[in-house]
Amino acid sequence: MRIALIIERFIPTGGVERAAWQVAEGLANAGDQVHVFAREAAENPKVNLHPLKTPFNWHPMRVSAFSRESSRAAPRSHFDVVQTFSRTRHQDIFRAGGGSHAAYLERSFKGMPLAVRWLSPRHRLLLRLEKKVFSDPSQIVICNSAMVAREISKRYGIGSDRCRLILNGVDPKKFHPEKRSDARKKFHLNSQETMWLFLGHGFERKGLRTALEALALSKNQESYLWVAGKDSTSSWKVLVNQLGLTKRVKFLGPRKDSDKLLAASDGLILPTKYDAFANVTLEAAASGCPVLTSKSNGGAEWLGEAGLTLEDPADSKSFANGLDALSDPKYREKLRVAGRERAEQTSWEHHITALRSLYKEVALRKHEMFSK
């Protein structure tokens, strides 16, 4: 098939960027002709790169310009399938990797902060784009979790014919429990030390406050929390001091060795306010790292009994109880095994197979439409 993929930044790091990279390579390996349209891109010999010029730095203008340029450069009539990973207006398939922007705002903010965002040019643009795409009967929407599919269907009245569930993929070789012993040695952790991990960019939305308060309330006062991800740490260090956790919390900054961190950890704590499907959920499960998260993480349903899921991402006491439950080595081992089994059925190979099946359906429908 001749496929166009649209993504603002085509690089093998980050969340949506890494997903687009994996999809592009997977499709190319399957024999498809892959064209990537991006405003910023790393070289990849497996795909045909098409740079798009968007001279604006201000977010609303940049998004609008990228949407216009991608529509011009990758018209739907020139490809079997056009899929976007970014917020663009015209394509065959829209991947709602971040879920519904309206749902994200409502879950992440309350009161005046929410009102301000409803009125900001940036969020008004994203909401307008979202509404136009979801209201366009010619476009299929890929949801990466059942939670997102329900939200979009309910808010915009999209049926199952347009709203398709295809889970994210994970690399079960890169993220593997066998790395645990070497990873523990690398980070100088002995067999008796309990190390929890908080991993993600945007600490406020990901629930770091709840994680820190849970650590302070947990019965295991000799456990540690490592915080990895891109965000300012100054205000968080003040909270750490106030909670008396100075010796138990370590900020690691952005990391490129998340596979080793997850393998070394005794559990991942992610009390996120909203995540369509936090990829780290998959990566932790594949690594044999038990997951403690909130129902606001679309990946929680996928985890099922392979993790611990709590209702309220702000309920520090419940998350403290969760940490106490994970302090039992036998229970952790049970979750390790169950999580790994689930992850092995959610590889990128599974994702590409499901994606190509949808592509063939879209291509056939387009061929029939244009041949009339």
71: nearest Cα among 88, 85, 83: 88
**For residue 321, what are the CA distances in angstroms to 16, 160, 183, 308, 316?**
32, 38, 27, 11, 9
**What percent of the chain is modeled with pLDDT above 70?**
99
**For residue 301, what are the CA distances in angstroms to 39, 198, 291?**
35, 20, 12
Q: How confident is the model at residue 13 (pLDDT cuts 50, 70, 90)?
A: confident
User: What's the pLDDT at 57?
Assistant: 83
- Check pLDDT > 80 for residue 77: yes
Quote the CA–CA distance of 215 and 212 in Å, as a whole number. 5
User: What's the pLDDT at 371?
Assistant: 64
**What's the sign of the alpha-carbon dihedral 20, 24, 27, 29?**
negative
User: What's the pLDDT at 231?
Assistant: 94
pLDDT single digits (tens) 104-135: 888 888 899 889 888 899 999 999 999 999 99
Torsion of CA 349, 262, 266, 268, to 10 degrees: -80
- Check pLDDT > 70 for residue 32: yes
Helix, strand, or coil (residue 279): helix
Residue-by-residue DSSP string for 44-113 = -TTSEEEE------SHHHHHHHHHHHHHHHS-GGGSSEEEESSS-S--SEEE-TT--HHHHHHHH--HHH
Q: How confident is the model at residue 370 (pLDDT cuts 50, 70, 90)?
A: low
Cβ partners under 8 Å of residue 37, min gap 6: 4, 5, 6, 7, 50, 52, 70, 73, 74
What domains can be seen in the chain, in order of their start residue? 2-169+347-371 (3.40.50.2000), 177-344 (3.40.50.2000)
pLDDT single digits (tens) 163-196: 999 999 999 999 999 999 999 999 999 988 999 9
134: nearest Cα among 106, 107, 96, 104: 96
**What's the sign of the alpha-carbon dihedral 174, 179, 183, 184?**
positive
CA-based R_g, the chain, Å: 21
pTM: 0.91
User: What's the pLDDT at 275?
Assistant: 94
Q: Exposed, middle or buried: residue 312 (CB in 10 Å: 0-12, 13-18, 19+)?
A: middle
Residue-by-residue DSSP string for 121-172 = HHHHHHHHHHHHHHT-TT-EEEESSHHHHHHHHHHH---TTTEEE----B-T
User: What's the pLDDT at 372?
Assistant: 59
